[in-house]
């Protein structure tokens, strides 16, 4: 994979000799733009024409001679980006997002003009520590500078020749430990999100359950423990959900497990489960042809939890993290699961299959049941492209959050705000659970037309019991996520940075061990 170097440089703004220099313009309370001292005369002349006001996301690319500039610059081009009235923004999440969006604009301009190296003048704002602006600018640049060219053989074509940014120099005289740590965090989270995007961009014939297993096994070298349960073991363990979904397929399923053990033994355990459905044809309840191609993305939850483990292995937080990816495709071969069939999940609960296209909950349920029993986690988070219904409810702008625990739900909402992956919590409860009652089994796998994202969560809830649990339904955000400068078309890597943010800022406590009512939502 291409790697982009982000370095810190003490060069002054007029000393940067490269292809592109980027500087930020903020607005004061009255809306007057201001930037680095040297740029002031230029800003004043731009103001005459009212073409650039410094509003957030506004940008202008200038070429020399930069006439009113007294000192002169040595760069070939100058990109000014507005940050608006960022000085007045008190919310860190909102500021982070402004920097990320600005970073995305830099990546887009580099792409348009095939620029491989750029100098970026850190804005040095009173409202935001330099480490923070550096972190999120770098994150936005790295997330925006993404392309998937693996299957393009004609790379030499004019259009494809540019392979992205090679080097970013952050110009600042404050090269502190905190600043470098911020850049390292940005590199780490962007790399993980881009790795998840790569997995998702792979076609279903290029990314099978075996590829998930292989990727996870490669992380053993980074100090993680990896276990892959193969089809015979899944059957023997009674994981009837995974086996059932896989029945119509020629490609064997896998349950991929990665464990991170922190240095201190007393740490809390977080279990992550990601839906790794490598292609969802719907099975016998076949999906319509139109848009079916997108169902290669149905493994985005699995991609998210596995790439997060890569970051965990690198950053070594003081928390035990276990990630599980139930992986299979959902096909309609001769042996396929049929509507009306009854399956038995890990642990013994039975389900009547009303629709073979509601398969995600079947594979995630087995993983939840097994993972909770085996790892006794303090809390569990599953990430899944689970329902079309969540897209109807929230569109492509928020992911659905469903939880039996207010403390956990609040942490996820906060992490989402901080990292620019927003969640909206949906209700749960007995009234919804009733919709998945079956006349002949413990439950059925669909709950009718209404409240589909919630009834799907209630299905999973049958397997989590009272363990603090949150379900992230990323069906609307895993690809075609809301338009932003640093989000490419196609898969977004959504969920990766939420989990990383949460685990980095892990607050101990909050989930008193087992069966305690603390934090449990009273209405459930
Ligand atoms: N993978 C789909 C959900 C999905 C749909 C994700 C659209 C992204 C975009 C899931 O397996 C599915 O097919 N769900 C069904 C459930 C229904 C049959 C109860 C759905 O949402 O239609
Ligand atoms: Mn489906
Ligand atoms: Zn699916």
Mutate to test the pocket of ligand 1, among 362, 365, 388 (most ligand atoms within 8 A of CB): 388
Residue 289 CA to ligand 2 center (angstroms) comes to: 13
Q: For 131-147, what is the mean pLDDT?
A: 97
Residues 284 and 389 in one domain: yes
pLDDT band for 207, please (50, 70, 90 cuts): very high
Q: Are residues 423 and 292 in the same domain?
A: yes
Phi and psi at 29, nearest 5°, equal: -55, -35
**Ligand 1 site: residues with CB under 6 angstroms?**
280, 298, 355, 357-360, 385-389, 391, 446, 452, 475
The helix (H) or strand (E) run that includes residue 77 is strand 77-84
Atom of ligand 1 nearest to the CA of 446: 19
Look up 287 and say whether it is catalytic.
yes
In contact, 249 and 330? CB cutoff 8 Å: yes
- Answer yes or no: 77 catalytic: no
Active-site pick, 287, 338, 484, 521: 287
In this predicted structure, the answer to whether residue 514 has a pLDDT above a threshold of 60 is no
User: Count of alpha carbons within 13 Å of 180, Cβ hemisphere only?
Assistant: 7
Nearest CA residue ID for atom 3, ligand 1:
387
CA neighbor of 195 nearest in space, from 309, 330, 328: 309
Strand bridging mode 320-330 / 254-260: antiparallel
Please tell me whether residue 18 adopts helix, strand or coil conformation.
coil
Mutate to test the pocket of ligand 1, among 291, 387, 394, 457 (most ligand atoms within 8 A of CB): 387
How many whole angstroms from 280 Cα to the centroid of ligand 3?
5
Give ∠ CA 146-148-154 in degrees, rounded to 5.
Answer: 125
What are the pLDDT digits (tens) for 413-438?
A: 999 999 999 999 999 999 999 999 99
One domain for residues 89 and 233: no
In a domain? residue 117: yes
Q: For residue 287, which atom of ligand 1 is closest to its CA?
A: 13
**Percent of the residues in the chain that have a pLDDT greater than 90, as a whole number:** 83
pLDDT, tens only, 357-388: 999 999 999 999 999 999 999 999 999 999 99
The closest-lying atom of ligand 1 relative to the alpha carbon of residue 277 is 1
One domain for residues 80 and 145:
yes
Q: What is the pLDDT confidence band of residue 280, given thresholds at 50, 70 and 90?
A: very high
Looking at the structure, tell me whether residues 323 and 228 fall in a common domain.
Answer: yes
**Phi and psi dihedrals of 28, rounded to 5?**
-80, -175
Domain of residue 103, residue span: 5-175
Res. 515 pLDDT band, cuts 50 70 90: very low
Nearest ligand 1 atom to the CA of 389 is: 21
Give yes or no: residues 125 and 235 share one domain.
no
Domain at 67, CATH number = 3.40.220.10
What is the distance in A from the centroid of ligand 1 to the CA of 327?
A: 16
**Model pLDDT, residue 494:** 99
* Residues recorded for the chain: 524
Mean pLDDT of the chain: 94
Same domain (yes/no): 329, 248: yes
- In the set 100, 185, 197, 361, the catalytic residue is 361
Last residue of a domain, one of 121, 141, 175: 175
Any idea which ligand is nearest the CA of 456? 1
Q: How far is ligand 3, taken at its centre, from the CA of residue 118, in Å?
A: 41
Give the tens place of pLDDT for each residue, 109-121. Answer: 999 999 999 999 9
Position 50 pLDDT exceeds 70: yes
Q: Which atom of ligand 1 is nearest to the CA of 385?
A: 6
Q: Please check whether residue 185 lies inside any domain of the structure.
A: no
Q: How confident is the model at residue 269 (pLDDT cuts 50, 70, 90)?
A: very high
> Ligand 1, atom 17: nearest CA belongs to which residue?
358
Residue 70 confidence (pLDDT) above 80: no
Residue whose CA lies nearest to ligand 1 atom number 8 = 475
Q: How far is the CA of 359 from the centre of ligand 2 (A)?
A: 5
Confidence of residue 40 (pLDDT cuts 50, 70, 90): confident
Q: How far is the CA of 472 from the centre of ligand 2 (A)?
A: 16
- Identify the band that residue 71 occupies on the pLDDT scale cut at 50, 70 and 90: low
In a domain, 305, yes or no: yes
Q: Could you tell me if 160 and 259 lie in one domain?
A: no
Neighbouring C-beta atoms of residue 306, cutoff 10 Å? 28
260 falls in which pLDDT band (50, 70, 90)? very high
pLDDT of residue 69: 63
- Tokens representing residue 49 in the block: 């024409």
Nearest CA to ligand 1 atom 5: 388
The answer as to whether 325 is a domain residue is yes
Q: Does pLDDT of 521 surpass 70? A: no
In this structure, the answer to whether residues 151 and 214 fall within a common structural domain is no
Phi/psi at 17 (5° precision) = -95, 0
Q: What is the pLDDT of residue 401?
A: 99
User: What is the distance in A from the centroid of ligand 2 to the CA of 330?
Assistant: 8
In a domain, 15, yes or no: yes
- The pLDDT of residue 228: 99
The answer to whether position 186 is within a domain reads no
Q: Give the pLDDT of residue 518.
A: 46
Residue 180 within a domain: no
Q: pTM (2 decimals)?
A: 0.96
Are the CB atoms for 445 and 361 separated by under 8 Å? yes
Q: Is 85 among the domain residues?
A: yes
Task: State whether the Cα torsion 194-410-511-315 is positive or negative.
Answer: positive
Task: Return d(Cα 423, Cα 220) in angstroms, integer.
Answer: 32
Q: 262 with 223, same domain?
A: yes
The predicted structure's pLDDT at residue 509: 87
Backbone phi, then psi, for 335, in 5-degree steps?
A: -90, 10
- The reply to whether 171 and 211 lie within a common domain is no
The domain total for the chain is: 2
pLDDT digits (tens, 9 = 90+) for 81-105: 999 999 999 999 999 999 999 999 9
Q: What is the CATH number of the domain that holds 234?
A: 3.40.630.10
Q: Which of 358, 443, 452, 479 to mutate to test the pocket of ligand 1 (most atoms within 8 A of CB)?
A: 358
Q: At 238, is the pLDDT very low, low, confident or very high (cuts 50, 70, 90)?
A: very high
Looking at the fold, whether 207 and 258 belong to one and the same domain comes out as yes
Q: What's residue 524's pLDDT?
A: 39
């Amino acid at each position: 994979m291409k790697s982009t170097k982000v370095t810190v440089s003490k060069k002054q703004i007029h000393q940067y000799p490269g292809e592109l220099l980027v500087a930020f313009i903020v607005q004061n309370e009255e809306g007057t733009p201001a930037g680095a001292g040297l740029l002031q005369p230029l800003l004043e002349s731009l103001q005459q024409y009212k073409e650039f006001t410094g509003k957030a996301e506004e940008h202008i690319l200038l070429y020399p001679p930069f006439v009113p500039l007294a000192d002169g610059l040595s760069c070939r081009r100058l990109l000014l980006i507005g940050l608006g009235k960022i000085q007045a923004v008190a919310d860190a999440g909102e500021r982070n997002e402004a920097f990320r969006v600005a970073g995305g604009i830099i990546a887009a301009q580099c792409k348009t003009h095939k620029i491989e190296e750029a100098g970026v003048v850190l804005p040095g704002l009173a409202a935001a520590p330099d480490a923070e602006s550096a972190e999120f600018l770098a994150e936005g640049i790295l997330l925006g500078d993404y392309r998937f060219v693996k299957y393009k053989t004609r790379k030499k074509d004019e259009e494809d020749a540019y392979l992205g940014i090679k080097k970013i120099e952050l110009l600042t005289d404050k090269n502190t430990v905190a600043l470098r740590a911020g850049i390292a965090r940005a590199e780490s989270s962007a790399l993980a999100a881009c790795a998840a995007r790569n997995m998702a961009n792979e076609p279903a014939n290029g990314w099978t359950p075996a590829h998930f297993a292989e990727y996870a096994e490669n992380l053993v070298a980074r100090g993680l423990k990896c276990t892959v349960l193969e089809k015979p073991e899944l059957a023997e363990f009674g994981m009837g959900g995974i086996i059932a979904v896989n029945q119509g397929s020629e490609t064997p399923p896998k349950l991929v497990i990665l464990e991170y053990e922190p240095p201190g033994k007393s740490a809390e355990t977080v279990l992550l489960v990601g839906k790794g459905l490598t292609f969802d044809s719907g099975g016998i309840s076949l999906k319509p042809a139109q848009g079916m191609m997108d169902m290669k993305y149905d493994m985005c939850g699995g991609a998210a939890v596995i790439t997060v483990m890569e970051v965990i292995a690198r950053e070594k937080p003081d928390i035990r993290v276990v990630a599980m990816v139930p992986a299979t495709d959902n096909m309609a071969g001769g042996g396929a699961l049929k509507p009306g069939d009854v399956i038995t999940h890990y642990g013994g609960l039975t389900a009547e299959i009303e629709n073979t296209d509601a398969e995600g909950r079947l594979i995630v349920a087995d993983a939840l049941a097994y993972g909770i029993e085996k790892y006794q986690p303090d809390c569990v988070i599953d990430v899944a492209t689970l329902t079309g219904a969540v897209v109807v409810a929230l569109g492509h702008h928020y992911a659905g959050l469903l939880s039996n625990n207010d403390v956990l739900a609040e942490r996820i909402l906060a992490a989402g705000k901080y990292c620019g992956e927003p969640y909206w919590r949906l209700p749960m409860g007995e009234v919804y659970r009733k919709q998945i009652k079956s006349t002949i089994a413990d439950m059925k796998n669909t709950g009718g037309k209404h409240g589909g994202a919630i009834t799907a969560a209630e299905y999973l809830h049958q397997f989590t019991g009272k363990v603090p649990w949150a379900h992230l339904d990323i069906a609307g955000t895993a690809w075609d996520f809301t338009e932003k400068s640093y989000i490419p078309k196609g898969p977004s890597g959504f969920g990766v940075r939420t989990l990383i943010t949460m685990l980095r800022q892990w607050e101990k406590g909050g989930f008193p061990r087992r069966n305690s009512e603390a934090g449990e939502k009273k209405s459930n």
